Amino acid sequence: MRVTVFGIGYVGLVQAAALAEAGHDVLCVDVDAAKVENLRQGIVPIFEPGLEALVRENHAEGRLTFTTNAEEAVAFAAIQIIAVGTPPGEDGSADMKYVVAVAETIGRLMDEPKTVVTKSTVPVGTGDRIAEAIAEVLEARGQSDLVVRIVSNPEFLKEGSAVADCLKPDRIIVGSSDPEAIALMRELYAPFNRNHEKMIVMALRSAEFTKYAANCMLASRISFMNEMANLAELMDADIEQVRQGIGSDPRIGYHFIYPGIGYGGSCFPKDVSAMIHAAETVGYTPLMLHAVDARNRAQKSVLFDKVQRHFGGNLAGKRFALWGLAFKANTDDMREASSRVIMEALWAAGASVQAFDPEAMSQCQEIYGQRDDLLLCGTKEAALRGADALLIATEWKNFRAPSFDTIRETLTSPLIFDGRNLYDPAVVARYGIEYVSIGRQVAG
Residues placed in the known binding site for substrate: 156-159, 211, 256-260, 264, 328
* 32 conformational bin, left if phi > 0, alpha if psi -120 to 50, beta if neither: beta
Question: Which of 36, 58, 74, 85 lies at the binding interface for ligand NAD (CB under 6 A)?
Answer: 85
Question: Nearer to ligand NAD by C-beta: 212 or 435?
Answer: 212
Contact flag: residue 210 with ligand NAD (CB under 6 A): no
Q: How far is residue 61's CA from residue 248's CA, in Å, rounded to a whole number?
A: 47
CB of 121 to ligand NAD, least distance (A): 4
Q: How far is residue 103's CA from residue 6's CA, in Å, rounded to a whole number?
A: 10
Contact flag: residue 17 with ligand NAD (CB under 6 A): no
Q: Count residues contacting ligand NAD (CB under 6 A)?
A: 26
Question: Which of 1, 75, 78, 101 lies at the binding interface for ligand NAD (CB under 6 A)?
Answer: 101
CB of 336 to ligand NAD, least distance (A): 11
Contact flag: residue 110 with ligand NAD (CB under 6 A): no
H or E element: which one contains 409? helix 404-410
Contact flag: residue 86 with ligand NAD (CB under 6 A): yes
Of residues 115, 106, 153, 202, the one with CA closest to residue 12: 153
Backbone angles phi, psi at 381, to 5 degrees: -70, -40
Question: Nearer to ligand NAD by C-beta: 210 or 421?
Answer: 210
Contact flag: residue 32 with ligand NAD (CB under 6 A): yes
Binding residue numbers for NAD(+): 30, 35, 86, 121, 159, 270, 335
Question: Nearer to ligand NAD by C-beta: 35 or 63?
Answer: 35
Contact flag: residue 124 with ligand NAD (CB under 6 A): no
Question: Which of 10, 304, 423, 435 lies at the binding interface for ligand NAD (CB under 6 A)?
Answer: 10
Question: Nearer to ligand NAD by C-beta: 223 or 266?
Answer: 266
Contact 223, 292 (CB under 8 A): yes
Give CA separation, 281 vs 93, 125, 209, 211, 274, in Å: 10, 12, 15, 18, 11
**Terminal CA-CA length for the chain:** 61
Contact flag: residue 49 with ligand NAD (CB under 6 A): no
Q: Beta strands of 30-72 (E only): which ranges?
A: 64-67
Question: Which of 116, 123, 151, 155 lies at the binding interface for ligand NAD (CB under 6 A)?
Answer: 155
Question: Which of 121, 273, 330, 421 lies at the binding interface for ligand NAD (CB under 6 A)?
Answer: 121
All residues at 6 or more sequence positions from 369 whose CB lies less than 8 Å from its CB, including other chains: none
Q: How far is residue 322's CA from residue 384's CA, in Å, rounded to a whole number?
A: 8
Contact 367, 388 (CB under 8 A): no
Reply yes or no on whether 364 is catalytic: no
CA 152 to chain centroid: 20
H or E element: which one contains 364? helix 361-368
Applying CB under 6 A, the span of 4-12, 223-231, 337-345, 403-411 interacting with ligand NAD comes to: 4-12
- Which of the following is catalytic: 28, 166, 216, 267? 267
Question: Which of 3, 4, 12, 54 lies at the binding interface for ligand NAD (CB under 6 A)?
Answer: 12
Which residue has the closest beta carbon to ligand NAD?
9
Contact flag: residue 6 with ligand NAD (CB under 6 A): yes
CB of 239 to ligand NAD, least distance (A): 27
Contact flag: residue 159 with ligand NAD (CB under 6 A): yes
All residues at 6 or more sequence positions from 298 whose CB lies less than 8 Å from its CB, including other chains: none
Contact flag: residue 418 with ligand NAD (CB under 6 A): no
Contact flag: residue 266 with ligand NAD (CB under 6 A): yes
Q: Which long-range contacts (CB under 8 A, 24 or more apart) does 210-215 make?
A: 210/154, 210/173, 210/175, 211/121, 211/154, 211/155, 211/156, 211/173, 211/271, 212/121, 212/123, 212/124, 212/271, 212/274, 212/275, 212/278, 214/156, 215/121, 215/267, 215/268, 215/271, 215/272
Strand partners, 67: 29
Enzyme catalytic residues: 267
* Contact residues: ligand NAD, CB under 6 A: 6-12, 29-32, 35, 83-86, 98, 101-102, 120-121, 155, 157, 159, 266-267
